[in-house]
Amino acid sequence: MRIFFRILKYLKPYWFRLSCSILCILLFTLFNGASLMSVMPFLNTIFHSQNNTVTVSEGTMDSSSINPIEQAIPGTLNKQWKTIKSKLYDFFSGENRREALQRVCIFIIILIFFKNIFSYLQSYLMAFVEQGVIRDIRNDIYSHINNLSLSYYHRTRTGQIISRITNDVTLVNNGVSASFVTMIKNPLMIIIALSLAVMISWKLTLIAMVVAPFSLVIIGWISLKLRKQSKISQEKMANVTSVLQESISGVRIVKAFAMENFEIKKFKHETQQFFKVLLRITRTRNLSSPLTEFLGTSVAVGILWFGGDMVLKGQLLTPDEFIFFLLLIFSIMQPVKELSSVNNRIQEALAAGERIFKVLDLESDIKNPANPVHVKDFNKSIEFIDVSFSYNNKVNVLENISVNVQKGEILAIVGPSGAGKSTFVDLLPRFYDPVDGRILLDGINLTEIDLGSLRRLMGFVTQETILFNDTVRNNIAYGLTDKSLEQVIQAAKIANAHGFIKNLSQGYDTNIGERGVTLSGGQRQRLAIARAILKNPPLLILDEATSALDTESELLVQQAIERLMKNRTSFVIAHRLSTILNADRIVVLDNGKIVQLGKHDELVNVPGLYQKLYNMQFKL
């Protein structure tokens, strides 16, 4: 129930529309009941002779309309029914049967009109509430996962995240709809129909209710199975989404290795698993409705036989009462069928809600301090003091790192693969926090600084250039809506990107496709540099920004990088030592430790790892 109440909290902003929707449900059920009641005077007008109709002034029915068994019942139900029936017939009575029929037909049209008006209003208002809840939950999940640390993304599949936002939220919406439409409208319809049926004949109604205990047992058993199966189905859907996302994002590798058939087989395997689970859910979910209908129909047929026989013998109800009673019993069957599936939908919604709130309850490893320090600029230095870091709290990726970087200095970080270079720079924007030691920005511990203001001081250019399915202009001015086209063009010129941009089909308004697929590697990299230039950050992080480029592209990108680094404090990771020969200092990492620190001219003449790396690249 805790999950259910958490879902209900999302309804709070929509309480007025929800209340109006519930009011419309009440009015709908009243008009629906009234439309059922209108059958009685219609049948009486059609099948009874004029002298058999109710005498309004006396408030009683003739001898053929009053059944001896009912006269013997001491309770008030039968009396109430006689009063209602008398007033109903009196309302529709006219000078002749034709006039009475005309009144009944007009009244039925009016009832059906208002019944459908309120049905429409209820559906529209409830749709507004449902879609609003879907939007709010999706927004909350998306906002929350964007504020989680990188470690969450490393341990969670992309398809699983997408499945939470899409499929699980849809299932929650189904539960909301079931709770506030079916659980209100259908019981009211059942209550009205049953009340009328009891007043007509409590004995036949009691016989009809024999099916209820069997239906409840069936529904309870099915609900338990559905909740378990729903969890499995959403995990299978997450698998399908993951394979889809991976194969699309890695399509170049798939085609380069001619692995299309392999990926197709893998996708078909996951869809087959999802198909099997869905079939099990469908079998289970759809079992309650036909079983309930079969039991209900069996009882109804029994009533039809038993009651019809009594009517023929003149021992129970009048023909019009008996037909109306059957109409009431059969009108109950559809709401009961829908109610039998409500718990199924609620159970599926609860299972989905459990997965959603599991994500929403996750706390980020990186948290903003309670009273953060807001920084607007970088003035002096960044200092690493005995910094150690581990991803799994077992093996240190970085160990006892101490280095002081002054403002305006270019610090290069080199070392073999796995030395900890990327982790070193990832600590600067607090993608991760050290397990030991401190990192100070102008003497302030990074953990005390507001995350947003800290990261706004930094620009990033990485080996894996991240671009968006948008125009060139919007990619360069990412998140900087106040920048003019002239400023964007100026940044592109500094980044050596203006030349190829102006030759694109629509210039700066050209859409470059997902991840910049329509551009070459060098072009993408220069757009990323232009983006960093436009942001104009005092701190710059370059992570192997030229390692994947050809010679010509590398030259253009390197020129752009040199312009970008001018008058900025820069942390540069490089495999190609030619790109960092002019660095102010070079940190040499090996197995997470600083093994050498100095300028190129100093390190290249000292036996050690840097000299080894230099000789491997320049003296083959």
Q: Mention every residue, 6+ apart, whose C-beta is less than 8 A from residue 540.
A: 458, 459, 461, 532, 564, 565, 568, 569, 570, 571
> Residue 65: what pLDDT?
43
| The pLDDT value given to residue 389 | 92
Q: Which tens digits make up the pLDDT trace of 165-213?
A: 888 888 888 777 777 777 788 788 888 887 777 777 777 777 666 655 6
Residues 307 and 241 in one domain: yes
| Residue 539: φ, ψ to 5° | -115, 140
Candidates 114, 302, 108; CA nearest to 206 is 302
Round to whole Å and give the CA distance between 375 and 430. Answer: 15
Same domain, 220 and 338: yes
Same structural domain, 330 and 479 = no
Contact 544, 550 (CB under 8 A): no
Relative to beta strand 410-414, strand 436-441 is unpaired
Q: What DSSP element (H or E) covers 542?
A: strand 539-543
Give the residue from 476, 492, 494, 489 showing the smallest Cα distance to 535: 476
Residue 509 inside a domain? The answer is: yes
Residue 374 lies in a domain: no
* 152 vs 327: CA distance, rounded Å: 58
CATH number at residue 277: 1.20.1560.10
Domain membership flag for residue 474:
yes
Same domain, 414 and 352: no
| φ/ψ of residue 614, rounded to 5 | -65, -45
Question: What six digits make up the tokens of 462?
Answer: 């990485």
Are 15 and 106 part of one and the same domain? Answer: yes
Which residue did the predictor score with more confidence, 20 or 481?
20
**For the domain that residue 516 is a member of, what is the CATH number?**
3.40.50.300
Q: How large a percentage of the chain has pLDDT more than 90?
A: 11
The answer to the question of residue 73 being in a domain is: yes
Rg over CA atoms, the chain: 38
For position 85, what pLDDT does the model report? 64
Least Cα distance to 552 among 614, 489, 499 occurs for 499
- 172 and 108, same structural domain? yes
Closest C-alpha to 91, from 124, 45, 123, 153: 45
* β 585-590/593-598 pair status: antiparallel
Confidence of residue 148 (pLDDT cuts 50, 70, 90): confident
What is the pTM assigned to this prediction? 0.70
CA-wise closest residue to 526 among 474, 465, 571: 465
Q: Please say if the pLDDT value at position 255 is more than 70.
A: no
* Domain extent at residue 520: 408-426+457-586+593-618
Q: Enumerate residues 6+ apart whose C-beta is below 8 A from 163.
A: 234, 237, 238, 241
> Rounded to the nearest 5°, which phi and psi values hold at 69?
-65, -45
Reply yes or no on whether the pLDDT at 319 is more than 90.
no
Q: Which residue has the higher pLDDT, 74 or 16?
A: 16
pLDDT score, position 434: 92
Residue 403 lies in a domain: no
Q: Do residues 420 and 343 share a domain? A: no
Q: Is the pLDDT of residue 527 over 90?
A: no
